[in-house]
Amino acid sequence: MNQGNDVNKRKADHIQICLNEDVRGRGITTGFENFSFIHEALPEVDFSDINLETFFLEKKVATPFLISSMTGGTEKAMTINQNLACAAEEKGWSFGVGSGRAAVEDPERAYTFKVRKYAPSIPIIANVGAVQLNYGFGVDECKKIVDLVEADALILHLNSLQELIQPEGNTNFRGLFQKIEELSKSFPLPIGVKEVGWGINGKLAKRLFDLGISFIDVAGAGGTNWSQVEKLRSTDPLKRAAANAISGLGISTSECLLEIKQNQGTGTLIASGGLNDGVEAAKAIALGADLAGFGRSILAEAVTSEQALIQRFTQTEYELKAAMFSIGAASLNELKNTSSIKRVGY
């Protein structure tokens, strides 16, 4: 089996495992359950006036929601991406596709990333693993991915613990900060950075923003744990045992937001990692996020149909507005600057 086929099989495995298995971390949550809104019984807001519009990547969007780097590379992934793109265009969600490495290594799979025709107006983000900068990827390969997707930006994902457990994993993360800095200075489009479920701490976020990274997706702990996903693909007893041992590592999504806010990083901040509904999205924005990202929690609808996704997206938007209504916030700016959120029990 060639390298391209290896990647495609891995992508197919990831979809099936995330759909059918419990791949959450053990003993760690997003932390959003530790925060509560202070209800305002007289909100002085007309619910119909609540406005979710915002700007991302210099585009006006109807909502602060992002599909956070899902999939690509297989026939099923194409169906998922088409459903996601159509629903995102309909409802005004931004859309991050899965890693474009599969398309570079196997051009026959490139079509699974061609989603712009289904979503002509929304921000779309191309994606590749940052570690690939140590394995032959440079500016030219990143441009190929962006051009293929017709993307507005490129996001580099950080997935060290996933790569460690992954049977085909690449674990040389040495010198990546310098390479990310060089890429961000020479690349023609904005560059973002995201984790994949273990979170980004405040000091690293500030350092990335200071070197010119445009946006960060914290992708904190509490949702999909990719060491658990890769454990289910591995036959190596050493890696399987290690995956269990590290399943509780990471920084919860809520704590990532608080740390980054405390360290005063300047740039667009995305909260993903275990978000399930619009109320959790509201909490994330109140804690400092500009956008709220959803991944595995919408995968079942993405597999089902565009219409199932539109229904889920509509519900999520309504839930966000309901949370805003409960504290009298008529805009995202008011939600982000609210003092009506507190730690439970503090």
Phi-psi category of 175—alpha, beta or left, where left has phi over 0 and alpha has psi -120 to 50?
left
Q: Taking 80 as the threshold, does the pLDDT of residue 5 lie above it?
A: no
Q: Taking 60 as the threshold, does the pLDDT of residue 1 lie above it?
A: no
In this predicted model, what pLDDT tens digit does every residue of 296-337 receive, in sequence order? 999 999 999 999 999 999 999 999 999 999 999 999 999 999
Q: Write down the mean pLDDT value for the chain.
A: 93
Strands 341-343 and 94-96: unpaired
Residue 10: what pLDDT? Answer: 79
Report the domain count for the chain.
Answer: 1
In this predicted model, what pLDDT tens digit does every residue of 67-125 receive, in sequence order? 998 777 788 889 999 999 999 999 999 999 999 998 998 898 899 999 999 999 999 99
Residue in 344, 320, 346, 317 with CA at minimum distance from that of residue 334: 320
- Helical segments of the chain, H only: 3-20, 75-91, 101-105, 139-149, 160-165, 176-186, 202-211, 226-231, 237-245, 253-262, 278-286, 299-304, 306-327, 332-336
In this predicted model, what pLDDT tens digit does every residue of 122-181 receive, in sequence order? 999 999 999 999 999 999 999 999 999 999 999 999 999 999 999 999 999 999 999 999
Contact criterion met (CB below 8 Å) for 112 and 78: yes
For residues 240-265, average pLDDT: 93
Residue 21: what pLDDT? Answer: 86
User: CA–CA separation, 296 vs 299, rounded Å?
Assistant: 5
Is the C-alpha dihedral spanning 255, 224, 295, 148 positive or negative?
Answer: positive
Residue 51: what pLDDT? Answer: 98
Band (346; pLDDT cuts 50, 70, 90): low
Which residue's entry shows tokens 């990827």?
137
User: CA–CA separation, 83 vs 250, rounded Å?
Assistant: 31
DSSP string computed for 298-333 = GHHHHHH-HHHHHHHHHHHHHHHHHHHHHHT--BHH
Contact criterion met (CB below 8 Å) for 96 and 127: yes
Contact criterion met (CB below 8 Å) for 7 and 73: yes
CATH number at residue 304: 3.20.20.70
User: CA–CA separation, 155 vs 126, rounded Å?
Assistant: 6
Contact criterion met (CB below 8 Å) for 316 and 282: no
**Which of 167-171, 236-240, 341-345 is least confident?**
341-345
Residue 6: what pLDDT? Answer: 66
Within 13 A of 241's CA, how many CA atoms are on the CB side? Answer: 3
Q: Is the pTM of this model over 0.85?
A: yes
Structural domain boundaries, residue 117: 3-343
Which residue's entry shows tokens 């200071």?
210
